[in-house]
């Protein structure tokens, strides 16, 4: 018998993926422009801003972008940590899926934090 995922589990998954995409927003607003300009690719940055003008808006509101994404990353880190102590099903196939998804969530959150810190360093320290 296949156990349905609870609405709480699906909510946690949505928060984890939202944190990934908001951390990518910090990378786009701060790290990407700094990298392109430091490599002498200012014309590429100008072309990118012309094609995607919302990058400027994200850059103008970077404090809110970092606060929201940091909050979501912290929240998803708590959920991933709590999920570490939940039992997986006894069925070997379901247990394998459970453990695989648990590792995937951990890697997604760690990758999101790395992206967030790269954006933070580029926005506020360099």
> For 101-116, how does the pLDDT look when each residue is reduced to its tens digit (9 = 90+)?
889 889 988 988 888 8
> Is 1 inside any structural domain?
no
Residue 85 in domain: yes
* Assigned domain for 84 exists: yes
Q: How far is CA 83 from the centre of its chain?
A: 18
Q: Domains in the chain: how many in total?
A: 1
Residue 2 covered by a domain = no
The verdict on residue 115 lying in a domain is: yes
Claim: this prediction has a pTM higher than 0.85: no
Q: What is the pLDDT of residues 53-88, one digit of tens each?
A: 888 888 888 888 889 888 888 988 998 898 889 898
Q: Residue 33 belongs to what domain range?
A: 7-125
At residue 95 the predicted structure's pLDDT band, cuts being 50, 70 and 90, is very high
Is residue 68 in some structural domain?
yes
CA angle, residues 55, 38, 56, in degrees to nearest 5: 10
Provide the 10 A C-beta neighbour count for residue 119. 25
């Amino acid at each position: 018998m296949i156990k349905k995922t609870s609405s709480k589990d699906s909510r946690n998954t949505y928060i984890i993926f939202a944190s990934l995409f908001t951390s990518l927003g910090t990378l786009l607003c701060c790290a990407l422009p700094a990298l392109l300009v430091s490599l002498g690719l200012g014309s590429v940055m100008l072309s990118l801003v012309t094609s995607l003008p919302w990058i400027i808006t994200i850059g103008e509101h970077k404090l809110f972008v970092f606060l929201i994404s940091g909050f979501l990353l912290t929240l998803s880190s708590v959920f991933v940590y709590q999920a570490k102590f939940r039992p997986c099903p006894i069925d070997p196939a379901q247990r394998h899926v459970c453990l695989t998804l648990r590792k995937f969530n951990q890697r997604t959150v760690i990758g999101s934090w790395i992206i967030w810190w790269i954006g933070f360093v580029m926005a506020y320290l360099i």
